[in-house]
């Protein structure tokens, strides 16, 4: 549905997006994830044809966005960041205007507008001016503008920012609903949201793609060894020597001492082995009472932080290496001078 | 184009701008109706339209045009237009004709001066229509400048000042050097007030307008490259 090939965007000497490529299939819900200023919005703006990439090409539904922009844009419904609306129009007028801009036929226009207004839950406010609406409703109006005219691709830039929890769940379920017969691209820096809604996640940092994968795979990637948290009551302090008694355990670490004299430990073992049964049996034998036992789940949050830190470390390393080689060169040349 | 035209024209009257423009225009009209037609005791309305265009447009053109593209850029609604499958040419013409529409509404109201004069004498309707045709053309030129100014900045005030500066400067610059007379739009509005449609003036005003509309289209089409 969407092909992004070697796309780069530069602003003077600053590179906002650096040689990224990916493909999005029909019916997918894809999430762009990244810290602020990572290049999420820039990438989205390039897919919608709002800005032209410096290099590379973007194909939407078979049409090149730079060359056949009209046909390509017809397939896209876009909700920009910061929900821009025409403040002197009512909700209905705004959605109608968007329908007209998208070239809806006159006889079906009214119907389509009404359908979208119902879909986004705007019936009660449809005759209010958009400037008098609350943030959550504005967001929905902007979304309605993106949905009208049934585009094949829907691009939403931070669709749940600034909404209350109830609205967030509503918008999320709406996006899921849309994913059934549209291709949806959304950006977010809320990780749990992306892992809930999306089939695939594209993590961007500093203009580069760090990872493209399903949320589950990304989580699995960061789980290196499996750890378990146990909260125990251990008056005789038997936990000190517990490591020898357990099989396949690499480390037992005290994490916290609670006020009720229980202690929380982290027990990590080899990858792919479930320690829980063994822990339960051994602890029971030793007379240690288990209050709580929990598998330490790696969340998308961990994956995200890890991947982003990795790229930063890599960058640092390459820089340091460059420095080293430079200093080496200098010393080499100095040595040569001395030889002369 | 029609969608943009309709929405923009409606927007003028949803905000106070449309009413303010018509109000100021009719005020200027009435002042010059007294200063020209009534004081000289003629049935000729030519100087009425000439002086209204001369002084009125300096205020009216920037008010009508300064928000056209600057506001859209500032509020971000520009993104909605630039990402929808519309032709930029259509958008620019839509906005241009919407602004011209407000002027035409004013001109329709200005028929009242004709009827006032008609009560006392026998003015020629054809001559008045020529005055108005010229007025429409000279307004188009002023609007196209304002529109261009609005397309190059995201600050409405700056857009307005550029427009006023252009209109005022071209009035006086011709005293410095006659070359500047060629870029003053009022120089193309001297035969119309005497009831004559001259080819020189029609071509001059239309090409002036076309040039600035073309500039605006180019600026807007290049937006995606320079952002």
**CB–CB of A120/A145 below 8 Å?**
no
Start-to-end C-alpha separation, chain A: 65
Q: What secondary structure letter does DSSP report for A290?
A: E
Shortest Cα distance, chain A CAs vs residue B223, angstroms: 8
Q: Output the pTM of the full model.
A: 0.81
Q: How far is Cα A281 from Cα A278, in angstroms, rounded to an integer?
A: 5
Q: State which H helix or E strand residue A30 sits in.
A: strand A29-33
B224 contacts in A (CB within 8 Å)?
A: 49-52
The DSSP bridge partners found for residue A184 are A29, A154
Cβ distance B77 to A84 less than 8 Å, yes or no, reads yes
From chain A, pick out residues whose CB is under 8 angstroms from the CB of B84. Answer: 73, 98, 101-102
Residue B42 pLDDT: 83
Partners of A101 on chain B (C-beta within 8 Å) are 3-4, 80-81, 84-86
Q: pLDDT value at position B90?
A: 92
Do residues A206 and A19 lie in contact, with contact meaning Cβ atoms separated by under 8 Å? Answer: no
- Give A154's strand partners: A77, A184
3-class SS shares of chain B: helix, strand, coil, % to 5: 85, 0, 15
Task: Show the DSSP H helices in A246-286 as ranges.
Answer: 276-286
> Is A2-221 a CATH 3.40.50.300 domain?
yes
Measured CA distances, B48 to A217, B8, B52, B138, B172 (Å): 78, 29, 6, 14, 21
Whole-number Cα distances in Å, A311 to A22, A211, A306: 19, 11, 9
Q: What DSSP string runs through A159-210?
A: TTTT--HHHHHHHHHHHHHHTTTSEEEEEES-HHHHHHH-SEEEEEETTEEE
Please give the helix or strand (H or E) that residue A267 lies within, else none.
strand A262-269
For A:33-62, CB contacts with B below 8 A are: 45, 48-52
Pairing of strands A153-157, A76-79: parallel
What is the least distance, in Å, from the CA of B14 to any CA of chain A? 7
Share of chain B above pLDDT 90, in %: 63
Write out chain B's pLDDT in tens, 227 residues: 888 999 999 999 998 999 999 999 999 999 999 998 888 888 888 889 999 998 999 999 999 999 999 999 999 899 999 888 888 899 999 999 999 999 999 999 999 999 999 888 888 899 999 999 999 999 999 999 999 999 999 999 999 999 999 999 888 888 888 887 777 888 888 888 888 899 999 999 999 999 999 999 999 988 877 76
Nearest-10 crossing angle of helices B88-109, B111-120: 20
d(CA A276, CA A229): 10
- A69 neighbourhood in chain B, CB within 8 Å: 85
**Is residue A78 classed as helix, strand or coil in its secondary structure?**
strand
Cα A157-A185-A80 angle, rounded to 5 deg: 25
> b/e map of A158-192 (b: 16 or more CB within 10 Å)?
bbbbebeeebbebbbebbeebbeebbbbbbbbbbe
Looking at residue A319, its pLDDT comes to 57
User: Please, what is the end-to-end C-alpha distance for chain B in angstroms?
Assistant: 24
Q: Do B83 and A97 touch (CB under 8 A)?
A: no
A147: enclosing H helix or E strand: helix A135-147
Return d(Cα B20, Cα B67) in angstroms, integer: 14
**Are B76 and A102 in contact (CB < 8 Å)?**
no
Rounded Cα distance, A234 and A241, in Å? 12
CA atoms within 13 A on the CB side of A287: 4
A99 to chain B, closest Cα gap in Å: 9
Of A52, A89, A103, the CB nearest to B225: A52
Domain boundaries, chain A: 2-221, 224-295
pLDDT score for B214: 96
Tell me how far apart the alpha carbons of residues B209 and B198 are, in angstroms, rounded to a whole number. 17
CA-nearest residue to A55 within chain B is B225
Picking from B156, B6, B121, B175, the residue whose alpha carbon sits closest to that of residue A99 is B6
Determine the Cα–Cα distance for residues B151 and B102; give it in Å rounded to an integer. Answer: 20
- Contact assignment for A52 to B224 by CB distance below 8 Å: yes
Contact A88 B15 (CB under 8 A): yes
Q: Which residue of A has its CA nearest to B71?
A: A86
Beta strand pairing status for A227-233 and A262-269?
A: antiparallel
Question: Which regions in chain A score pLDDT beneath 50?
Answer: 340
Contact A220, A233 (CB under 8 A): no
Tell me the pLDDT tens digit for each residue of B133-184. Answer: 999 999 999 999 999 999 999 999 999 999 999 999 888 888 888 887 777 8
Tell me how crowded residue B199 is: count the other CB atoms within 10 A of its CB.
8
**Residue A219: which of A301, A113, A282, A158 has the closest Cα?**
A301
Q: Kindly indicate whether the domain formed by A224-295 is annotated with CATH number 2.60.40.420.
A: no
In DSSP terms, which residues pair with A265 in a beta bridge? A230, A254
Q: Kindly report the nearest CA distance between residue A100 and chain B, in angstroms.
A: 6
Shortest CB distance from B85 goes to which of A89, A102, A145? Answer: A102
**How far apart (Å, rounded) are the C-alpha atoms in residues A305 and A303?**
6
Q: In chain B, what are the domain boundaries?
A: 2-222
In degrees rounded to 5, what are phi and psi of residue A127? -105, 10
Cβ-nearest to A101 among B3, B15, B227: B3
Query: By the 8 A CB rule, do B101 and B143 touch?
Result: no
pLDDT for residue B134? 92
What's the mean per-residue pLDDT of chain B?
Answer: 90
Question: What radius of gyration do chain B's Cα atoms show?
Answer: 18
Taking a C-beta distance cutoff of 8 angstroms, is the pair B114, B45 a contact?
yes
Residue A127's contacts (CB-CB under 8 Å, 6 or more residues apart) are: A90, A91, A92
CB A187 within 8 A of CB A40: yes
């Amino acid at each position: 549905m969407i092909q992004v090939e070697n796309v780069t965007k530069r602003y003077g000497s600053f590179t906002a997006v650096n040689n990224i490529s990916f493909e999005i299939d029909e019916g997918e819900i894809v999430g762009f994830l990244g810290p602020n200023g990572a290049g999420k919005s820039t990438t989205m703006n390039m897919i919608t044809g709002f800005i032209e990439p410096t290099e590379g090409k973007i194909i939407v539904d078979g049409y090149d966005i730079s060359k056949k922009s009209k046909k390509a844009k017809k397939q896209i419904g876009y909700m920009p960041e910061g929900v821009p609306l025409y403040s002197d129009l009512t909700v209905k007028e705004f959605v109608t205007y968007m329908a007209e801009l998208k070239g809806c036929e006159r006889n079906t226009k009214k119907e389509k507008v009404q359908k979208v207004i119902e879909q986004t839950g705007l019936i009660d406010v449809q005759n209010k001016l958009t400037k008098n609406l609350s943030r959550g409703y504005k967001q929905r109006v902007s979304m309605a503008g993106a949905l009208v005219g049934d585009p094949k691709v829907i691009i939403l830039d931070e669709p749940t920012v600034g909404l209350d929890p109830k609205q967030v769940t509503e918008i999320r379920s709406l996006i899921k609903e849309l994913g059934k017969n549209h291709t949806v691209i959304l950006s977010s820096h809320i990780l749990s949201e992306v892992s809930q809604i999306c089939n695939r996640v594209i993590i961007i940092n500093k203009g580069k793609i760090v990872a493209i994968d399903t949320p589950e795979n990304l989580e699995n990637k960061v789980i290196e060894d499996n750890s378990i948290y146990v909260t125990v009551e251990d008056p005789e302090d038997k936990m000190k020597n517990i490591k020898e008694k357990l099989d396949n355990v690499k480390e037992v670490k005290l994490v916290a001492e609670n006020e009720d004299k229980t202690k929380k430990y982290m027990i990590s073992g080899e990858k792919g082995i479930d320690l829980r049964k063994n822990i339960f049996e051994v602890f029971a034998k030793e007379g240690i009472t288990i209050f709580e036992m929990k598998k330490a789940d790696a969340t998308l949050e961990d994956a995200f932080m890890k991947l982003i830190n990795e790229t930063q470390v890599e960058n640092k390393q390459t820089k340091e290496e460059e420095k080293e080689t430079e200093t080496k060169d200098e010393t080499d040349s100095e040595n040569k001078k001395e030889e002369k | 184009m029609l969608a943009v035209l309709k929405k923009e024209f409606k927007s003028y009257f949803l905000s106070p701008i449309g009413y303010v423009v018509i109000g100021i225009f009719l005020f200027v009209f009435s002042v010059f109706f007294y200063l020209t037609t009534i004081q000289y005791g003629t049935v000729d309305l030519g100087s009425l339209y000439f002086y209204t265009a001369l002084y009125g447009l300096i205020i009216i053109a920037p008010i009508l045009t300064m928000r056209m593209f600057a506001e859209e850029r500032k509020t971000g609604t520009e993104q909605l237009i630039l990402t929808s499958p519309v032709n930029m040419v259509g958008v620019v013409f839509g906005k241009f004709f919407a602004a011209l529409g407000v002027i035409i509404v004013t001109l329709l109201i200005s028929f009242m001066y004709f009827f006032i004069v008609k009560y006392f004498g026998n003015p020629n309707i054809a001559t008045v229509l020529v005055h108005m045709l010229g007025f429409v053309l000279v307004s188009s030129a002023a609007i196209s400048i304002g529109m261009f100014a609005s397309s190059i900045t995201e600050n409405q005030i700056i857009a307005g000042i550029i427009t006023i500066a252009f209109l005022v400067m071209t009035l006086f610059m011709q005293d410095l050097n006659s070359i500047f007379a060629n870029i003053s739009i009022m120089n193309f509005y001297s035969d119309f007030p005497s009831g004559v449609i001259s080819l020189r003036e029609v071509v001059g005003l239309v090409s002036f307008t076309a040039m600035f509309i073309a500039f605006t289209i180019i600026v807007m089409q290049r937006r995606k490259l320079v952002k």
